[in-house]
């Protein structure tokens, strides 16, 4: 039985060998965003957001792309509050996701 707060995402089985690395990189992004936010480095946050925007959907993780898009915009206008909220949203998503590999 799936817990109510869990998110199940179906991903192409061809990505199974590289998905753990992709997910680890998103965890690393959270650390980098936190450091950059503390130092006011909005350019780095914008770059991270841009990368997530471009890569998430390709891995079957549309939410990562959505968060990345919003983070890129927030970094452009240097909105630290929105960036912090988006980082929390990303962290929550990564903690709750269950990846199901299937032939697509």
| pLDDT < 70 positions in the chain | 1-4
Handedness of CA 73, 76, 77, 82 (dihedral sign): positive
Q: Which CATH number characterizes residue 12's domain?
A: 1.20.120.160
Spell out a b/e string for 28-43, using b for 16 or more CB atoms within 10 Å of the CB, else e. ebeebbeebbeeeebe
pLDDT of residue 3: 53
Give this prediction's pTM.
0.92
> Which residues form the domain of 11?
7-102
Q: In this structure, is residue 1 part of a structural domain?
A: no
Tallying the residues shown for the chain, one arrives at: 104
Assigned domain for 2 exists: no
Instruction: Report yes or no on 72 lying in a domain.
Output: yes
């Amino acid at each position: 039985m799936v817990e109510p707060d869990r998110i199940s995402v179906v991903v192409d089985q061809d990505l199974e060998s590289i998905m753990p690395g992709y997910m680890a990189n998103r965890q690393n992004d959270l650390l980098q965003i936190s450091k950059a936010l503390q130092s006011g480095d909005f350019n780095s946050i914008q770059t991270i957001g841009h990368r997530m925007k471009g890569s998430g959907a390709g891995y079957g993780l549309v939410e990562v792309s959505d968060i990345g898009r919003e983070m890129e915009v927030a970094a452009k206008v240097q909105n630290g509050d929105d960036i912090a909220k988006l980082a929390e949203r990303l962290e929550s998503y990564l903690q709750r996701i269950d990846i199901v590999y299937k032939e697509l």
